[in-house]
Amino acid sequence: MLGSIKETDRLEGIFLEVLDDTSKKELILYLLCYVQLIRKVGNVNIPLDQFLRCASRNFINMRNSWKDILAEMNIFFISDLYGNTYTGKDIYRVDERGFYFISIDHKYCKDISSFSSKVAKYWGVINKVSHYGRSMTPYDAVYVSAIMFNEGLYEELLSYCEFQKERFRKEANFFDALSSLSLAYKKKEGVIEHINYCIRKIAPFGDVYYSINLEKLRKDLTKLLKKLQKGKSLEHIKIEFVNGEKNKESTWRRLIKGIRNIFRRIKGGKRWTLTTSETACYYSIEDCSKKRKNFLTES
């Protein structure tokens, strides 16, 4: 996916990569561990061993070594007591017996609060849209884009929509509409024009589009336009989903939770981690999904 997008920000690139392949969510976990340790230590330079312990507590069986992951991310710097720094492929030169510190790319250190907020939002989005090993569908892409908009991730959404327009041509007009709406909030210039463009683009889709309540969205955008024309400031709106989809989502979440509880009891109440939960649940969920599809077909 990243090869098709002109990457301007490494943090954004990591997020988009994980969105396309949610089996790589440990990349976001590493960022989340770093953010948590910054708050705990009160410094952007974190002891490397402490950082790795944080990640290993959440992933019992890592798919790759920590050096492979950090080299792939290419967003962290490792430094030793002699002032030497290692990043990218140079991380393989780090002697695990030594004492090192890890820090994020310096440009993010300028605004740690903003960086931390973004990482938290990324983690929230990823946990809502995990594909459990299957390929992304148009439904997934539309749903993900709506969730990103609701989180205020406008910069990332613009890149995401640009890619999805090429992948899912039939849904291109929707992604165009959402891109225009994102520009209204990101640039805060030509706001009325961007919102009007969005309304025109979604007009042919009816009241519901891939579980998105477009009727409500159009009403909210129309109200927002009237306020803007009266000189009021731009307010953030939320994309809502139809009730049936909300209920279906909560049902599947309850199913996943039930399966997790079963495996907890089998494991004797041991810590349930992201990797073990997704690996164990995947086949059970796939099986349930097939049975559900067969039932609907027979009905």
CA distances from 251 to 125, 143, 219, 245, 254 (A): 19, 17, 29, 10, 5
pLDDT at residue 196 greater than cutoff 50: yes
pLDDT value at residue 259: 52
The answer to whether the Cα torsion of 9, 30, 64, 132 is positive or negative is negative
Q: Alpha helix locations (H) across 43-171?
A: 48-58, 66-73, 106-109, 112-129, 138-150, 154-167
pLDDT at residue 243 greater than cutoff 90: no
d(C-alpha 11, C-alpha 115), whole Å = 9
Calculate ∠ Cα 211-122-44, nearest 5°. 170
The model's pLDDT over 83-120, given as tens digits with 9 standing for 90+, comes to: 899 998 999 999 878 899 999 998 998 899 999 999 99
Residue count (the chain)? 299
Instruction: Write down the architecture of domain 136-229 according to CATH.
Output: Orthogonal Bundle (1.10)
CA distances from 157 to 173, 244, 286 (A): 15, 26, 29
Could you tell me if 125 and 153 are in contact, meaning their C-beta atoms sit under 8 angstroms apart? yes
Q: Where are the domains of the chain?
A: 2-113, 136-229, 250-298
